[in-house]
Amino acid sequence: FIQGGVKPHGEYCVFLITAGKRITHADMYALIALPPGVDKAEWLASNTVAFFKHINLFSSALSEFCTPSTCPTACGPGNAVYVWTDDHGRKLKCSAPLYFDYAMSYIQDLLTDEDVFPTKAGAKFPTGFVFMVQKVFLLLFRTMAHIYWSHYTQAQQVGLHPHLNTLFMHLTLFCRHHELLDPEDTEPLQDLITALGRQG
């Protein structure tokens, strides 16, 4: 596969070949659609929490392979470099483990903020809630993209690649169905998304 005239990363070729390896071939569309009678904000909130927990757990399982020396920059497919923007608007180029630590801490803070993700009955979701959910899913997608780009071989070696493929397929279908990511965000992994869709 040649995209944009650039020879693909070795990890990229491997995960395209093994796209059929999943832990389930259940109907993913049944898992992502808004159930009848459920408030959309509630559905987005509960799924945001679930995806965060799963992806955080998955990245933790591979953390020994993702270090400042092995991953001095947070990168993804197409040699994209992810730069963290701090609370003051400063862009920080940092190692992958530091970038994803920032990302997971940011998401955790949002999820535990009652003003953003209310847990009390009758509490209203804030204006701009969907925008915040979109930002969370962008960070989660980048976490998965980095794993595929830099650590897929290690995921294979420890037998986690079927779990990774299943989780990624669920994530991308959910994001597409609920319009949480822009096409330019997912385009670098479109070959994989297409391959997983064919296997479904």
88 labelled as ligand-binding?
Answer: no
Question: 11-40: string of b/e by CB count within 10 Å (b at 16+)?
Answer: bbeebbebbebbeeeeebeeebeeeeeeee
Element (H, E) at 85: strand 84-85
Per-residue tokens: 75: 């990168």
Rounded CA gap, 118 and 127, in Å?
13
CB 51 within 8 A of CB 140: yes
Q: Looking at the chain, list the stretches that DSSP marks H as alpha helix, in order from N- to C-terminal side.
A: 10-17, 28-32, 40-61, 96-111, 129-157, 161-177, 183-186, 190-199
13 labelled as ligand-binding?
Answer: no
146 labelled as ligand-binding?
Answer: yes
71 labelled as ligand-binding?
Answer: yes
- In the annotated binding site, the residues are 66, 71, 146, 151
- In the annotated binding site for Zn(2+), the residues are 66, 71, 146, 151
